[in-house]
Amino acid sequence: MPLLTTTERRRDTPVAADPSVPVIYGASIQSLPLAGLTLGEARNWVREFLHVGPKTVALINGAKAGEDYRLVPGDAVEFIHQAGEKG
């Protein structure tokens, strides 16, 4: 399955002025000002306080995305904690 790219974003998705993006990791849900960052930059930003590993699978709006995907308001980021994964 190909990775989601920024250009594949649905055209009818409303653009909000709020830079907050919901970030889900396990039971933790945070609303963070990550719009404008790439997924890789966002991963580095949340790594310390959410303990997200560098190889943890990331979904944007339910689809796998590359580290160069640029987040926009309205996106939702979910890091998938695999069973048996430390952290």
Q: What is the pLDDT of residue 30?
A: 93
**Identity at 67, one-letter amino acid code:** E
Mean pLDDT across the stretch 57-70? Answer: 96
CA distances from 10 to 6, 7, 55, 66 (A): 9, 8, 27, 17
pLDDT in tens, 38-55: 999 999 999 988 888 888
Cβ contact 73:52 at 8 Å: no
- Residue 81 is predicted with a pLDDT of 76
Strand ranges, E, within the chain: 20-25, 28-33, 57-60, 63-64, 77-80
pLDDT tens track for 13-43: 555 578 899 999 988 899 999 999 999 999 9
Q: Which ranges of the chain does DSSP label H, i.e. alpha helix?
A: 39-50
CATH number listed for the domain at residues 20-80: 3.10.20.30
Spans of all domains in the chain? 20-80
